[in-house]
Amino acid sequence: MKFISKPKPKKEWKVYLVECSDGTYYCGIAKDVAKRVHTHNQGKGAKYTMGRTPVMLLVVSPYLIESEAKALESIVKTYPKHKKASHIVRQWRYQTK
pLDDT tens-digit profile of 54-76? Answer: 999 998 888 999 999 999 999 99
CATH class as words, domain 14-95: alpha beta
pLDDT band at 81 (very low <50, low <70, confident <90, very high): confident
* Pairing state between β 25-30 and 14-19: antiparallel
Closest CA to 11 of 48, 63, 67, 88: 63
pLDDT at res. 82: 83
Please give the residue that has the higher pLDDT: either 84 or 8.
Answer: 84
Q: What is the 3-state secondary structure (H, E, C) of 53-66?
A: CCCEEEEECCCECH
The Cα–Cα gap between 13 and 33 comes to 9
Domains of the chain, by residue range, sit at 14-95
pTM score, whole prediction? 0.82
